C-alpha cells in the first residue's frame, strides 16, 4: 500500500488460489508521474482474467495489461473514454493475432476492466465478468455489467417466469472477451464524478464467485486498502479458492479534491461547451430584422427584434453544451452512463462482524494440528468481541480481519513445510 502525493490510497493483491497451479490473472496500476499527465489522463487501474490452456490465459491477460494502459496514455489527442476504447480494441487485435499464430494459443482470451481516475471524473472500459465497484457513503455500486449468460438472461427477460437464471445457468460462462474474435464490443461508462472518500474496487471473478456484495461493502467501508485486499483474498481462499483471485483498491483522499479543484458540472461532463449553431442563426436573423426595421422607420418593432436576438443569444450561452448537434458523430465520450447495475447498502456491519467471528472460530479449530500458539489470537479475539458488544463494529471487524489473515498465513506456511497445502474449506 502506498499514497501518491497524499491524494489516493491504493493496494493490490493477486493470488493463485487453492486449486490452480498457475495464475492467469494480471493487473496493472499506472500512476501519473506529473501534474500534466494527471490532469489529462489520471491514474490507470486494470484487472484482466485470462483463459486458455498451455499458459495461453496468462499470455492473453499479460498482453492486455501491458498494452491498454500504454496506448491509453499515448493517445493524448483523444478524450479519455474514446482513448480507453481504442486501446482495448488494439489490445484485442494483438491477442487475436497471437492466438492465430500459435496453435497452442488458439482461442485464448481475457476479460478486461480498466478504470481511469482523473480530476474531472472517472472512466471505465470493460469486457467480460471482471468487475469495477465504487463504494460511496453507505452504498456499494457495481459500475460494470457482467458479460455472462446469467446477466444477459436477466437483462433480456428471456428466461421462463419463476426460474432464476443465476440458479439454472452456469455462472462462469462469459459472452464477451478480449482476444478470441477479430472484432469485439467494448462497454465504455462515464464520466463518474469523483468525491473524497470514494473507494474503487477492481476484481476478477475469483473474488466475486466466493465473496458476496453484502460482504464486500463493510470490508471496503471499514478497512484500510491494504487490509481490505488481504481479507478479501483470504475469504476467497477459505471458501475453497477454486480460482485465481485479484483485487485492486483505490481510495480517494481529501487532498485529491484540493488538487483537482472544482469539478465541472456533472450534466456537462464529457460534452464540449459549445453554443449550438441554431442559436447564432436565430440571433443573426433578429439583428438583421432590427436593422431592416430601422431603415423602414419602424423603431418600436426594431427594438423588439433586437431584444429577441439578445434573448436568443443569452439563452444559448446559458445552455451551451446542453443542445447536442443533430448530426454529431457519437463517440465514447458522448453517451448516457447506464451504471450502477447493482446497489448494496452497507449501513450495518454488525451482521458481518458476527459472520467473521464464526469464520475465525472455524479457522482456529481447523488450525489446531498446525501447532500454532493461539495466546495472542485469543487476546485479540476477546478485544474484537468486546468492541462488537460496544457497537464498535468497525473496530471489531478490523481486529477479526487481522486475526484471520495472520492465522491463515501462518497455517499455510506450516502446511507447506509438511508438503501439504490442501484446501481449508469453511
β-bridge mates for residue 44, sequence order:
30, 116
The string of pLDDT tens digits covering residues 37-92 is 989 999 999 999 999 988 899 999 999 999 999 999 999 999 999 999 999 999 99
pLDDT of residue 275: 54
Helix axes of 80-101 and 56-74: crossing angle, nearest 10 degrees? 150
pLDDT of residue 5: 55
Measured CA to CA, the distance from residue 42 to residue 351 in angstroms comes to 37
pLDDT of residue 335: 55
pLDDT of residue 3: 45
Alpha-carbon torsion, ordered 26, 333, 122, 37, to 10 deg: 80
pLDDT of residue 271: 40
The string of pLDDT tens digits covering residues 382-418 is 999 999 999 999 999 999 999 999 988 888 777 666 5
pLDDT of residue 282: 63
Handedness of CA 15, 18, 23, 25 (dihedral sign): negative
Burial of 375 from C-beta contacts in 10 A (0-12 / 13-18 / 19+): exposed
- Residue appearing with cell numbers 496493472: 28
Measured CA to CA, the distance from residue 131 to residue 114 in angstroms comes to 9
Are the C-beta atoms of 124 and 200 separated by less than 8 Å?
no
347 pLDDT tier (thresholds 50, 70, 90): confident
Measured CA to CA, the distance from residue 294 to residue 377 in angstroms comes to 92
The mean pLDDT of the chain is 84
pLDDT of residue 372: 84
Sheet holding 131-136, edge to edge: 2-4, 8-15, 245-252, 199-203, 131-136, 139-142, 342-345
Higher pLDDT, 329 or 13: 13
β-bridge mates for residue 203, sequence order:
131, 247
Is residue 230's pLDDT more than 90?
A: yes
Average pLDDT over residues 350-365: 92
Amino acid at each position: 500500500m502506498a499514497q501518491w502525493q497524499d491524494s489516493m490510497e491504493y493496494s493490490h493483491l493477486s493470488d493463485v488460489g487453492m486449486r490452480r497451479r498457475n495464475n492467469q490473472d494480471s493487473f496493472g496500476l499506472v500512476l501519473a508521474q506529473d501534474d500534466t499527465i494527471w490532469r489529462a489522463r489520471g491514474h490507470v487501474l486494470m484487472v484482466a482474467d485470462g483463459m486458455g490452456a498451455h499458459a495461453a490465459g496468462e499470455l492473453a491477460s499479460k498482453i492486455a495489461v501491458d498494452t491498454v494502459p500504454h496506448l491509453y496514455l499515448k493517445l493524448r489527442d483523444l478524450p479519455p473514454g474514446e482513448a480507453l476504447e481504442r486501446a482495448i480494441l488494439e489490445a484485442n487485435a494483438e491477442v487475436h493475432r497471437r492466438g492465430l499464430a500459435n496453435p497452442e494459443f488458439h482461442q485464448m482470451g481475457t476479460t478486461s476492466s480498466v478504470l481511469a481516475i482523473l480530476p474531472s471524473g472517472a472512466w471505465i472500459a470493460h469486457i467480460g465478468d471482471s468487475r469495477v465497484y465504487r463504494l460511496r457513503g453507505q452504498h456499494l455500486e457495481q459500475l460494470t455489467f457482467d458479460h455472462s449468460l446469467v446477466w444477459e438472461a436477466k437483462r433480456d427477460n428471456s428466461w421462463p417466469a419463476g426460474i432464476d437464471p443465476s440458479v439454472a445457468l452456469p455462472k462462469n460462462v462469459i459472452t464477451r472477451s478480449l482476444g478470441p474474435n477479430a472484432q469485439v464490443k467494448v462497454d465504455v461508462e462515464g464520466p463518474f464524478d469523483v468525491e473524497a472518500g470514494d473507494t474503487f474496487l477492481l476484481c476478477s471473478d475469483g473474488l466475486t464467485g466466493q465473496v458476496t456484495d453484502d460482504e464486500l461493502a463493510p470490508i471496503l467501508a471499514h478497512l484500510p486498502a491494504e487490509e481490505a485486499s488481504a481479507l478479501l483474498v483470504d475469504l476467497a481462499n477459505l471458501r475453497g479458492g477454486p480460482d485465481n483471485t485479484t483485487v485492486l483498491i483505490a481510495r480517494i483522499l481529501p487532498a485529491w479534491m484540493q488538487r483537482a479543484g472544482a469539478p465541472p458540472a456533472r450534466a456537462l461532463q464529457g460534452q464540449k461547451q459549445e453554443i449550438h449553431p441554431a442559436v447564432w442563426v436565430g440571433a443573426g436573423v433578429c439583428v438583421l430584422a432590427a436593422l431592416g426595421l430601422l431603415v423602414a422607420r419602424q423603431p418600436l418593432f426594431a427594438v423588439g427584434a433586437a431584444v429577441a436576438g439578445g434573448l436568443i443569444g443569452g439563452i444559448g450561452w446559458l445552455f451551451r453544451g446542453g443542445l447536442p448537434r443533430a448530426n454529431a458523430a457519437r463517440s465514447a465520450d458522448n453517451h448516457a452512463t447506464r451504471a450502477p447495475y447493482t446497489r448494496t447498502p452497507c449501513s450495518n456491519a454488525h451482521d458481518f462482524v458476527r459472520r467473521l467471528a464464526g469464520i475465525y472460530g472455524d479457522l482456529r479449530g481447523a488450525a489446531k494440528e498446525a501447532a500454532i500458539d493461539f495466546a495472542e489470537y485469543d487476546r485479540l479475539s476477546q478485544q474484537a468481541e468486546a468492541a462488537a458488544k460496544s457497537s464498535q463494529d468497525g473496530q471489531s471487524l478490523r481486529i477479526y480481519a487481522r486475526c484471520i489473515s495472520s492465522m491463515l498465513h501462518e497455517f499455510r506456511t506450516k502446511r507447506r513445510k509438511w508438503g501439504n497445502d490442501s484446501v481449508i474449506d469453511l
